[in-house]
Amino acid sequence: MIAKPTPSIIQHFSSIKDPRVNRQKKHQLQDIFFISICAIICGADNWMAVEEFGLAKEEWFTKLLGLENGIPSHDTFGEVYAAIDTDQFSLRFSRWMADSANISEGEVK
């Protein structure tokens, strides 16, 4: 069965294994991915800029994601991306972009 294409960042990235120790998890992994991808699309080019973007849009992210501990710090973004399986992330990112292009009938390239 072929899954229906979806533009959902959270659905595409939810199967990536979280490498963090449970007691150190203040933020959901999919929230970290969602915030960072949005920030990078909007021009953030380092982890401090990702954090600043998140803080500037914190009200929106909180409504959308239900953040209990606010926006992750730039250190958290960096540590998570340093620890995740980059092959899995790359695969999920490629599939997300392909679905987005498919759904938008090629308007997203």
What are the tens digits of pLDDT across the range 35-52? Answer: 999 999 999 999 999 999
Domain assignment present for residue 11? The answer is no
Q: Half-sphere exposure of residue 66, counting CA atoms within 13 Å on the CB side? A: 2
CB of 7 closer than 8 Å to CB of 93: no
Does residue 67 lie in a domain region? yes
Residue 106 pLDDT exceeds 60: no
% of the chain residues with pLDDT over 70: 88
Domain span at residue 33 reads 27-103
Longest dimension (CA), the chain: 43
Question: Looking at the 3D structure of the chain, how many domains does it have?
Answer: 1
User: Is 42 a domain residue?
Assistant: yes
Q: In which band, very low, low, confident or very high, does the pLDDT at 2 lie, cut at 50, 70 and 90?
A: very low
The larger pLDDT score, comparing residue 67 to residue 13, is at: 67
